[in-house]
Amino acid sequence: MPTYDDDLRLAHVIADQVDSHTMSRFKALDLTVESKPDNTPVSDADRTAEEIIRSHLSRARGRDAIVGEEFGESGHGARRWIIDPIDGTKNFVRGVPVWATLIALADGDEVVVGLVSAPALGRRWWAAKGTGAWSGRSLAAANRLHVSKVAKVEDASLSYSSLSGWEERGQLDAFLDLTRETWRTRAYGDFWSYMLVAEGAVDAAAEPELELYDMAALVPIVTEAGGTFTSLDGSPGPWGGNAVATNGLLHDEILGRLS
């Protein structure tokens, strides 16, 4: 089985540089923010962060393809780096510290490396295929992650981002019914919901509409921690346009309630 340790180390090196840039622009008085065609915000920090990542990858992994939120897809090949320079841009531009850089590597149809770096929270999470999921400040100073063992929905903590997407999908009633049956719900939102699942602090997370770059880095972290990550139709991985992540024990029941 191929190993991806070198790719993971590269992701850490890239994240270190990106963190320095994004933190220098976080709460900057001269931050430039524009609206993209889909009415979502983008800042100068987003674009420069993606340029930094692409520059590193072009030098170190020139044969690999790249898929990014801001500059689309470039290159060809079975190996694709999937990047979101700032996941949580709305938080970033308003001074809320819940945002992160997401870096993933897909080999064929399997995401084999994922790194999530949230410098304003002082947190980083990562995983490579077959080596477990970890959190810490560096590869040398890390704690292994494990999902929870909660086995009943009525005992579960559920995280989500917003209700509007469920309403647009015509599933708001089903989602609200689920929230009423769980022990606790909180809208931690974006990447953080899924990292909390991997840590065992939250038992399930779900979102009705996501892009590939929103999800790819999250998948190996959740699954290497012992969890399950699928789309709402049960297809594994980040390819379905939406996400349900759980500790595995709750997965089938939650999918059933949201179908």
CATH (domain of 46): 3.30.540.10
Do 137 and 161 share a domain, yes or no? no
Residue 113 to residue 200: CA distance in whole angstroms: 20
Residue at a domain's end among 127, 144, 161: 144
Do 157 and 139 share a domain, yes or no? no
pLDDT the model gives residue 40: 83
CATH (domain of 249): 3.40.190.80
Burial of 5-40, coded b for 16+ CB within 10 Å and e otherwise, reads eebbebbeebbeebbebbeebbeeeeeeeeeeeeee
Domain range for 107: 5-144
* Sequence ranges of the binding site for Mg(2+): 69, 84, 86-87, 214
pTM of the model: 0.96
pLDDT the model gives residue 219: 98
Per-residue pLDDT of the chain (259 residues), as tens digits, is: 789 999 999 999 999 999 999 999 999 999 999 888 776 889 999 999 999 999 999 999 999 999 999 999 999 889 999 999 999 999 999 999 999 999 999 999 999 999 999 999 999 999 999 999 999 988 888 999 999 999 999 999 999 998 999 999 999 999 999 999 999 999 998 999 999 999 999 999 999 999 999 999 999 999 999 999 999 999 999 999 999 999 999 999 999 999 7
pLDDT the model gives residue 35: 87
pLDDT the model gives residue 192: 97
Contact criterion met (CB below 8 Å) for 69 and 215: no
pLDDT the model gives residue 36: 80
Do 236 and 171 share a domain, yes or no? yes
Do 14 and 98 share a domain, yes or no? yes
* Sequence ranges of the binding site: 69, 84, 86-87, 214
Do 54 and 110 share a domain, yes or no? yes
Do 108 and 188 share a domain, yes or no? no
Count Cβ atoms below 10 Å from residue 90 Cβ, excluding itself.
Answer: 15
Residue at a domain's end among 144, 179, 196: 144
24: which 2 tokens? Answer: 């220098």
pLDDT the model gives residue 137: 81
Residue corresponding to tokens 């994004």 = 22
3-state secondary structure labels for all residues of 175-223: HHHHHHHCCEEECCCHHHHHHHHHHCCCCEEEECCCCHHHHCCHHHHHH
